[in-house]
Amino acid sequence: MRKITLSFTILAASLLTISCGNSQAVQSSQEVKTSLNVNVQQNEVEALLNYLSSNELAGRQTGTEGIELAAQRIEKVFEANGIQKYFDTYRHNFEINGVEGFNIVGMLEGNDPKLKDEFIVLGAHYDHIGIQEPIEGDSIANGANDNAAGTVAVVELAKKFAKIDNNKRSIMFVLFSAEEMGLVGAKRIAQELKEDKLDLYALFNFEMIGVPMNNKDYIGYLTGYENSNFAEKFNEYSGEKVLGFLPQAKEYNLFKRSDNYPFFEEFNVPAQTISTFDFTNYDYYHHVADEAEKLDLAHMTNVIESVIPGILKMANTPEKEIKLNKQVSE
């Protein structure tokens, strides 16, 4: 067990009693954020983002040396922070059309004798599309926003929850490969975890969180917003409006277009994605100009910090309070 200060322990407990969102809840949220030391180091966010989207990694296409280097960096961070292995190693291997791929999987076991058998998965895909036709001499699709940004979020959350060390449920951190090949990595691991009879409570996926939205009263939108009470409960837990509804996400059916969807199909539980890409605020989707210098580091850091109280509450409620709406689960 890692050392936890007395003030943190007391205030972590207070998080578990935050009431439904009103002015008192918002005040409690600010107190909890301060006391939990949810502060994420922006320089560490920047360093990992820069590495994952560097030319050295050549776009992190599945099956290439670039994604191997990305995997090695993530594994080193997991090991340095005491993130446990769910499988024999951090890698979950698969093959697609003769290409060897692997998801990176770590976990923090819960501290409750019963609830530790229930899992929350925090995920993001760490692959991208690699080398493309040159544009002004640049042929590397670096994939900073898509999806080094989401990868950084999951890695930073793993580091933070390892330090908090106060989760009753187990938390699994999964970096998916071959998303760009049709959600393949997510499909393969969802199938295997289902076969293992994993008790999955919910999956929270991070996709393209590198730039803020304009004129919104929430931090990020949730795909499949109307499918569950995820956003409602998460905002209640957080004491602020972290998650909102974006009409374009429903229009373009983004719920089915990221790594959350295979888990919904296999487990029939809330499995949804947070994003801040709204089709108007970033022009470099699958473009060689999707580079780290175009992202907003302060915004990324804020997204990561803002989800910590809600995830911690999810990991500690006596019952599974986040549920699919009836018409979706039937």
Domains assigned to the chain: 41-329 (3.40.630.10)
Are the C-beta atoms of residues 204 and 275 closer than 8 Å to each other?
Answer: no
pLDDT score, position 327: 74
Are the C-beta atoms of residues 276 and 57 closer than 8 Å to each other?
Answer: no
DSSP track, 8-51? HHHHHHHHTTPPSSSHHHHHHHHHHHHHHT----HHHHHHHHHH
- pTM comes to 0.91
User: H/E/C letters for each residue in 202-224?
Assistant: EEEEECCCCCCCCCCCCCEEECC
Tell me whether the omega of the peptide bond preceding residue 147 falls within 30 degrees of 0, making it cis. yes
pLDDT score, position 326: 84
What are the mean pLDDT values of the chain's consecutive 10-residue runs (330 residues total)?
Answer: 34 41 47 69 98 98 98 98 98 97 98 98 98 97 98 98 96 98 98 98 98 97 98 97 98 98 98 97 98 98 98 98 82
Are the C-beta atoms of residues 201 and 322 closer than 8 Å to each other?
Answer: yes
In whole angstroms, give the CA distance from residue 46 to residue 149: 10
